[in-house]
Amino acid sequence: MAGKKTMTLNLTDAEMTVLEELSTKKDMSKTAVLRQALRLYQLVQMRAERGDKLFLESETTKEKAELMLL
Amino acid sequence: MTTSVSKVYLLEMATGKAVEAELHDGVTEQQLEDWETKWFPVLFARQQQLVRTGVPLAGWSQSRQWSWRDKMARIECLLAYQTFCIVCECVTQGMIQIDMTKSARLDGQSGKPLVYIEYLEVAPWNRTELGQQAKFGGVGSILMRAAVEHSVNEEFHGRIGLHSLPQANDFYGNTCGMMDLGPDPDYENLRYFEMTPELARSFLDNGREP
């Protein structure tokens, strides 16, 4: 595995709460959650730059909503 | 591209002896050249043999249309994907591509991240198609082990999942001990297999290497 670098991350209370909730829900450390988020963000960004659109679909109603990426 | 290399052992089927090989974390241009210049001629010759012997299409290698060059181009520079390969006698013996953005489906694991195996393929001379003896045994198992260990390292606790080509159902279900969740209508009705953290620990503890 490639060497890792350490950084300090400044989060608001709300952001830290979300990170802790995700960490519990996903059974991962906060670092692992952020690494996973980075993977997903890069993937979504690459697809958006290619012209793809990201949709969220309701499992019950099948209603689709496009997620706007900035 | 920098890859790290670790020592593994394959079983040379003709002699029954363990031979030293390398597990690389990464598929490079060298592997793609091996795939084109070494795997392809053997695959082509086998297909000719299948045609001559009248074997129906269902009996052919189901990964024969995979293009590793395309598969690697698709994931270039993306953190979400990882590849491994095994090299022995300076030739690529097997390759695997995994996706780290998928979630588990099994009850009790649902929604938790897993390593999803997109593609796993061993060199044609390491397969037992047409009753031929494989040159090296253990290639698929070691690549599976690499995927499970990667899942552990990424804090996915060994969870892995995959859709299996019909010819490989027995390998994933029985050799690897994965749970069979049945045909997936959203994925060409291929059977979906998953490994829980408990099954992963068992696989790593009992994983077969010569």
Both structure tokens of B134:
């494989």
Cα→Cα distances B4→A67, B27, B60, B86, B100, Å: 38, 11, 34, 12, 19
For the cut 90, the answer to whether the pLDDT of residue A60 exceeds it is no
Asked if B154 and A32 count as a contact pair (C-beta separation under 8 A), the reply is yes
pLDDT attached to residue B209: 43
Give the residue among B159, B48, B46, B57 at the shortest CA–CA distance from B108: B159
Confidence band, pLDDT 50/70/90 cuts, at residue A58 = confident
pLDDT attached to residue B210: 38
Output the pTM of the full model.
0.91
ipTM above 0.85, yes or no: yes
DSSP letter (8 states) at residue A48: H
- Whether residues B4 and A29 touch (CB distance < 8 A) is answered with no
Quick one: angle between helices A13-26 and A30-49, nearest 10?
100
pLDDT attached to residue B55: 75
Considering only CB atoms, which residues of chain A are within 8 Å of chain B? 1-2, 25-29, 32, 35-36, 38-40, 42-43, 46
Query: Using a CB-CB distance cutoff of 8 angstroms, which residues of chain B are in contact with residue A32?
Result: 154-155
End-to-end Cα, chain B, rounded Å: 30
Asked if B22 and B87 count as a contact pair (C-beta separation under 8 A), the reply is yes
Query: Using a CB-CB distance cutoff of 8 angstroms, which residues of chain B are in contact with residue A57?
Result: none
pLDDT attached to residue B205: 92
End-to-end Cα, chain A, rounded Å: 32
Out of A25, A29, A43, the one facing B80 most closely (by C-beta) is: A43
- Whether residues A36 and B157 touch (CB distance < 8 A) is answered with no
What residue of B is the nearest CA neighbor of A29? Answer: B155
* Segment-wise mean pLDDT, segments of 10 residues, chain B, 210 residues: 87 96 97 95 85 74 81 95 98 98 94 96 87 91 97 97 94 95 96 97 74
